Structure 1
Amino acid sequence: MEQRLAGLAKLQDCPDLPSFARVHSPEIPHKLLPMASIQRSGSKWRVQVYVQGRRDSKSFRTKQEASAWALEREAELGGSKLPDRTFAEAMRHYERDVASHRKGSRWELTRLKVFAELPVAKRKLASLGPDDFIAWRDGRLGQVKPATVAREMNLMAAVLKHARRELRWIRGNPLADVTTPAKPKGRRRRISAAEEKALTLALGQRGKLQADTPTHRVGLAFLFALETAMRSGEICALTWDCVFLSSRYVTLPKTKNGEARDVPLSSRAVEILKALPRGDGPVFGLGDQVRDVLFRKARDATAHRDVHFHDTRAEAIFRLSKKFDVLELARVIGHRDLNSLLIYYQSTASELAAKLG
């Protein structure tokens, strides 16, 4: 290796050598031989490599350091050598390249910081195997619910997938042969008329709709969610420029699935929006965290502590299923999987027979 580097450095000192040097590697087929370009940039040497459609570059103090990096990096990009990187380094790249660009990435970014402190994070990627993740999974199951472990495993798998496909730091995914804990069925709790009335009163809505205090506006958000099946985050982020009362719909520019969505408004939903003062900020004047704290405080003052704000979505979908067919409902609430909506259509055989005439 030292002889190859010395030879390359000697060639590059030749005044007749062009601005790039062909780096020969016996591990790489001749037809895929890469090109390494090494040029002076101020007081440093900048090297660029290009292998099989992928580029990388870096600057060094000396030309010999640049040449050494070029040989090693080309071998890595060509697949003849795996880089000596840790799981924590893969997490940092995933955070920078993927997670930080996603909507609602707060949970992923928080978990990645926690993962970086795990013993497995300090291990070299090439040394990790299924047993390492099985041990972590079993230990984690003693601390949190299976659904949480499954979600964390999905994030780890995404990091390893990025390391394999984009960074080319590993050839296989050590999590591929590790069983993910079974997730419990999603919560689809109905909200009874008594619960709706008690919570509405606890949130300060008595008779005429009120919007004077934050608690009042949480009450309006609760009622609005029951009318539209919009998520809490979508309601709190709604702005007046996306509200079209005359046409009776609101536009959500960016939703959970990454696509825009128009949500039709019932007459009651229009009434709720008209009760709110217009301004430059969010329609309901609430942040999601403030909404959560105030809702819990009001709810805990009632006898219905099992009700969550997000239960409004399931209840609203049940109600809308009586008015829309499954394709219309999917469009309104932003679902892509029609099968997941069938549970909301619970007509009995007798009710269906009545439709036949």
Structure 2
Amino acid sequence: MATIVKTPAGTWKAVIRKTGWPTNAKTFRTKRDAEDWSRRTEDEMVRGVYIQRSGSERLTLENALQRYLREVSPTKKPTTQKAEATKAQQLIKHLGKYSLAALSSEVIANYRDTRLGSLTNRGQPTSNNTVRLELALLSHLFTVAIQEWGLGLTYNPVLNIRKPSPGEGRNRRLTADEERRLLKEVNKHSNPMLGWIVSIALETGMRSSEITGLRRHQVDVKKRVARLLVTKNDSARTVPLSKLAAATFQAALQNPVRPIDCDLIFFGEPGKDGKRRPYAFTKIWGLLKSKLGMPDFRFHDLRHEAVSRLVEGGLSDQEVSSISGHKSMQMLKRYTHLRAEDLVVRLDSLKAKK
């Protein structure tokens, strides 16, 4: 039997002590509520279906996310850690005061709709993919809480709602004039590494982090290959280098201002701890885009451009994926956007051969 007592504050506290179960207590505004909860809980204990829910009822989403960022995020890549911290801020802003037990599918669906209708700091609508990634973080939080934290949660409410469609992906391509002006601008920058990085991205389709993370022993100019050990999908790959890419790497490897003790090909200034990290060019890239009148062009679009050119050059999907590192043909398809005018020329050449 449960013990029900009135507290000095005027509320009613129910305490259940049952052999084989941990002591359970909960406070209610009325005695009737305390009695109803006690009967229901004891009945669940008798039937062997009782779940201790107090942990999920006390833990707010804000505190749960903070624990996730402390315990789970550090097991992931630095870039992922930073991205998850940003997504967590939005979740905390809108849902942080809810307990995990109170986060129903309806509440989360309302969050989804609110985020899709909101504007970013740049005045642009929040993208479907941004909201999808925020929901993915929330979903994994629930998975960890259910499987590892023992909070008494019985299901993941995120799994019961519709996710925003991922969209068609970007199809931003460089025009010949844009490429000419872009290369001219980066090549005259005071730090030659900016021009080298842009040129390599356009020639190889490598990601920004893949290029800036390269060390000298990973590039073989004679064999014209770059060995990527750390990639986005954790699959190492060897990227063949065009003659221009190999020449660009040769120039970078012979950079006369590289410190003797620095193995990075593209290096930055020492941090407060004295360590050198990869060259960070995000700020100068943003200023450069604005100057050229290309504010919608992202560095990652160079990868789109490079992969599309490989396809246009006649390489098979399998050959392109081995260079770009795409694991699925579906993902590769999203990155390859062939110009209709180029296809017209190829169609004419095919007919001419008949």
TM-score between the two structures when normalised by the length of structure 2: 0.69
Structure 1 residues 231-246: aligned runs within 5 Å:
231-246=207-222
The structural deviation recorded for 1:330 is 0.8
Contact 1:218 1:294 in 2 (8 A): no
Instruction: Note if contact 2:205-2:303 (Cα within 8 Å) is conserved in structure 1.
Output: yes
Question: Residue 162 of structure 1 is aligned with which of 127, 140, 144?
Answer: 144
User: Is 1:121 aligned to 2:101, yes or no?
Assistant: no
Aligned residues between the structures: 281
Work out the percentage of aligned pairs sharing the same amino acid: 26
In structure 2, which of residues 283, 305, 308 is the aligned counterpart of residue 318 of structure 1? Answer: 308
AA aligned opposite 1:335: H
Structure 1 residues 1-357: aligned runs within 5 Å: 25=20, 80-83=50-53, 84-85=55-56, 86=59, 87-103=61-77, 104=79, 105-118=81-94, 120-144=95-119, 145-147=126-128, 148-169=130-151, 170-205=153-188, 213-214=190-191, 216-276=192-252, 277-278=254-255, 279=258, 280-286=262-268, 290-321=280-311, 322-342=313-333, 344=336, 346=338, 350=347
Q: Which amino acid aligns with 1:81?
A: I
In the TM superposition, residue 2 of structure 1 has moved relative to its aligned partner by: 9.7
Structure 1 residues 154 and 298: alpha-carbon distance in aligned structure 2, compared to 1, 3 A threshold: same
- Structure 2 spans left out of the alignment, 5+ residues: 4-17, 23-44, 120-125, 269-276
Partner of 2:238, secondary structure, is strand
Q: Which amino acid in structure 1 is aligned with residue 219 of structure 2? A: V
Task: State the TM-score, normalizing by the size of structure 1.
Answer: 0.69
Superposition RMSD on alpha carbons, in Å?
A: 3.2
- Counterpart-to-counterpart distance in 2, 1:248 and 1:121: 51
Shift of 1:112: 2.4
* Unmatched runs of 5 consecutive residues or more in structure 1: 4-22, 28-74, 206-211
Q: C-alpha displacement at 1:133, in angstroms?
A: 1.3
**Does the 8 Å contact 1:130/1:175 carry over to 2?**
yes
* Cα distance change, pair 213–283 in 1 and its aligned pair in 2 (3 A): farther
Q: Distance in 2 between matches of 1:356 and 1:156?
A: 56
Aligned AA for 1:146? S
CA drift at 1:335? 0.4
Distance 1:228 1:79, change over 3 A: farther
Shift of 1:257: 0.6
Q: Distance in 2 between matches of 1:345 and 1:308?
A: 16
Is contact 2:171–2:337 with CA below 8 Å preserved after alignment?
Answer: no
**Amino acid in the other structure paired with 2:138:** M
Deviation at 1:246, TM superposition (A): 1.7
Mark the CA change 1:265 to 1:289 in structure 2 (over 3 Å): closer, same or farther. Answer: closer
Deviations 1:249-298 (A, max 9, x none): 11111111122121111110011111123542421235778412222323
8 Å contact from structure 1 (residues 79, 168) kept in 2: no
